């Protein structure tokens, strides 16, 4: 059944104010969160280590603070005020370790999950950042949300673990834009992907790898509505049921057919019937299951 969510991404470069720089960044980002809140989003994504961006006189990592520090406390108040999930990235100090983290705050401002960047850059590791061990996917009231941070985008295990845990949306908080790689991840791992960075061209990507919109200096806050009740399927064998699905469900089911790649995205707008219900009803096979079956059949043939 239809499961719409409104997702906002924020572009932020960092304050020009160097005195009390972290506090200045937090104040300016809170103003952007208020601006995003005008769109009544369900989730707001912030750039990687937003509270340290633009710092010139010392290492960004020197801004590390615990989860109960001023950054998370302040952003948590905004999450509660606007009744929205917020992805709050920062350098996190925990016991004797420092992580590059993405903290998901829920609609009440409570910590719903924390992801530690699995692939910090070589420079980050040499400065003392500890790599995370696994991807984190959090169940929200609109669907499962996963995370990736900057350099992670170059390493497929992060995306594969997100997909294996059923992420329908990946929030990519980053220093660099990611470009084509964000579209490839969205397509390969069959999920929506939203990126929030300090520079232009943060993306909203669909599970077919299409770009719904970009962030620009003219538009540092952008919101898109997405329906998370979808599945990606291969055309092979499934296409014979398209007309029967259309005949029964009409406008309540959308078939977005992507011919060059031989796949399609099926989305349910039905108030009571989910996309998985329709898959079972018509005996359809999701792309992931089809590829797994093909791999198994190949192994049998080799034996």
The single residue listed with the structure tokens 């329709």 is 278
Residue 1 reports pLDDT greater than 90? no
Per-residue pLDDT tens for 83-102?
999 999 999 999 999 999 99
* Alpha-carbon torsion (125, 128, 129, 132), positive or negative: positive
CA 197/CA 50 separation, integer angstroms: 9
Residue 29 reports pLDDT greater than 90? yes
Residue 24 reports pLDDT greater than 90? yes
CA 145/CA 32 separation, integer angstroms: 22
- pLDDT for 228 equals 97
- pLDDT for 249 equals 98
227, 247, 268 - which closes a domain: 227
Asked if 221 and 259 sit in the same domain, the reply is no
Q: Which of the four pLDDT bands, split at 50, 70 and 90, describes residue 244?
A: very high
- pLDDT for 229 equals 98
182, 207, 227 - which closes a domain: 227
CB 223 within 8 A of CB 6: yes
Query: Which region among 144-148, 217-221, 229-233 has the lowest average model confidence (pLDDT)?
Result: 217-221
- Three-state SS for the chain is CCCEEEEEEECCCCCCCCCCHHHHHHHHHHHHHHHHHCCCCCEEECCCCHHHCCCCCCCHHHHCECCCCHHHHHHHHHHHHHCCEEEEEEEEEECCEEEEEEEEECCCCCEEEEEECCCCCHHHHHHCECCCCCCCEEEECCEEEEEEEHHHHHCHHHHHHHHHCCCCEEEEECCCCCCHHHHHHHHHHCCEEEEECCCCCCEEECCCCCEEEECECCECEEEEEEECCEEEEECCCCHHHHHHHHHHHHHHEEEEEEHHHCEEEEEECCCCCCHHHHHHHHCCCEHHHHHHHHHHHHHHHHC
181, 205, 227 - which closes a domain: 227
The single residue listed with the structure tokens 């999950």 is 113
Per-residue pLDDT tens for 99-115?
999 999 999 999 999 99
- pLDDT for 58 equals 83
CA 138/CA 186 separation, integer angstroms: 18
pTM, whole model, 2 decimals?
Answer: 0.96
Please state the separation of Cα 185 from the chain's center in Å.
11
For 13-30, what is the mean pLDDT? 94
Asked if 178 and 247 sit in the same domain, the reply is no
CA 218/CA 221 separation, integer angstroms: 9
Per-residue pLDDT tens for 151-202?
999 999 999 999 999 999 999 999 999 999 999 999 999 999 999 999 988 8
**What range does the domain containing 272 cover?**
230-302
Asked if 176 and 241 sit in the same domain, the reply is no
Asked if 222 and 236 sit in the same domain, the reply is no
Residue 57 reports pLDDT greater than 90? no
Asked if 32 and 163 sit in the same domain, the reply is yes
> Could you count the other beta carbons within 10 Å of the beta carbon of residue 245?
19
> Could you count the other beta carbons within 10 Å of the beta carbon of residue 284?
21
CB 230 within 8 A of CB 3: no
Asked if 277 and 152 sit in the same domain, the reply is no
Asked if 191 and 95 sit in the same domain, the reply is yes
Asked if 41 and 131 sit in the same domain, the reply is yes
Q: How many domains does the chain have?
A: 2
Asked if 185 and 234 sit in the same domain, the reply is no
Asked if 164 and 270 sit in the same domain, the reply is no
């Amino acid at each position: 059944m239809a499961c719409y969510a409104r997702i906002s991404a924020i572009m932020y470069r960092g304050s020009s104010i160097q005195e009390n720089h972290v506090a200045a960044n937090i104040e300016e980002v809170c103003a952007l969160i208020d601006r995003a809140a005008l769109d009544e989003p369900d989730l707001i994504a912030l750039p990687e280590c937003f509270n340290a961006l633009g710092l010139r006189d010392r290492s960004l990592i020197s801004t590390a603070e615990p989860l109960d520090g001023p950054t998370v406390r302040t952003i948590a108040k905004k999450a509660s005020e606007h009744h929205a999930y917020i992805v709050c990235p920062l350098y996190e100090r925990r016991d004797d370790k420092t992580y590059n983290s993405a903290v998901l705050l829920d609609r009440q401002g409570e910590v719903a999950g924390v992801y530690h960047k699995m692939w910090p850059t070589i420079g980050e590791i040499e400065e003392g950042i500890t790599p995370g061990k696994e991807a984190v996917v959090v169940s929200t009231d609109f669907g499962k949300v996963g995370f990736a941070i900057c350099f992670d985008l170059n390493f497929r295990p992060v995306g594969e673990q997100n997909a294996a845990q059923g992420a329908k949306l990946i929030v990519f908080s980053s220093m660099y834009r990611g470009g084509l790689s964000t579209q490839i991840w969205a397509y390969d791992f069959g999920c929506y992907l939203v990126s929030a960075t300090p520079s232009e061209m943060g993306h909203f990507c669909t599970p077919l790898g299409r770009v719904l919109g970009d962030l620009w200096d003219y538009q540092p806050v952008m919101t898109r509505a997405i329906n998370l009740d979808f599945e990606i399927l291969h055309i092979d064998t499934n296409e014979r049921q398209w007309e029967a699905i259309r005949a029964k469900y009409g406008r309540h089911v959308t078939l977005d057919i992507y011919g060059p790649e031989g796949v399609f995205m099926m989305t349910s707008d039905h108030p009571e019937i989910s996309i998985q219900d329709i898959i079972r009803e018509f005996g359809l096979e999701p792309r992931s299951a089809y590829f797994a079956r093909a791999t198994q059949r190949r192994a049998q043939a080799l034996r």
